[in-house]
Amino acid sequence: MSSNVGLTTPRGSGTSGYVQRNLSHLKTRDNIAPYPKDFSTLKHRQRQPDQEILEHDRRREIEVKVFELRDRLEDEEVDEDDIEDQCTALRAKLTTEQKSTASSTNARGLKPHQVHELAAAKIEESEKLRRALGIKEDYEEGSHWKKQEDRLKDTKLHKGKEEEEE
């Protein structure tokens, strides 16, 4: 035992006698409030998808199909120039098809790791629901209660003024 570290005698302890400190123990933080002070952070904000990632996935989907064609043609031992021509033709065709079709995403066909696609599908679904229910774009959640409170205040003030006049 050196420098007052370890057991006085390691005999019978099943260890070498060296004691390490517990690194998994977390220190408590006193300065953190249990709830946020800013109520604007509590307001729901919908996750916005990253358009660059969505575009990358679209391009990757096209390139996968082009690569499958190239692989199949190479197995059939087609000339390299013909392979290149067919690949560029397929790439152009798939690109125009993708631009022409409406990009409606179905969330059921997506996997949990496709967070940007899921976010885009959720925004689209929310927009459809908003239009179906006739909700305005500038609608703020809870604004009905604010209007109602303002009306009650106005009526109380109006009644207070009438009583003063009498």
Question: CA dist 7 to 3, 21, 24, 37, 53, Å?
Answer: 11, 13, 21, 49, 57
Q: What is the pTM of this model?
A: 0.53
Mean pLDDT across the chain: 82
Distance CA 1, CA 98 (A): 73
Per-residue pLDDT tens digits for 110-157:
888 888 888 888 888 989 999 999 988 888 777 778 888 888 888 887
pLDDT band at 1 (very low <50, low <70, confident <90, very high): very low
Confidence label for 41 from pLDDT (cuts 50, 70 and 90): low
pLDDT computed for residue 62 by the predictor:
94
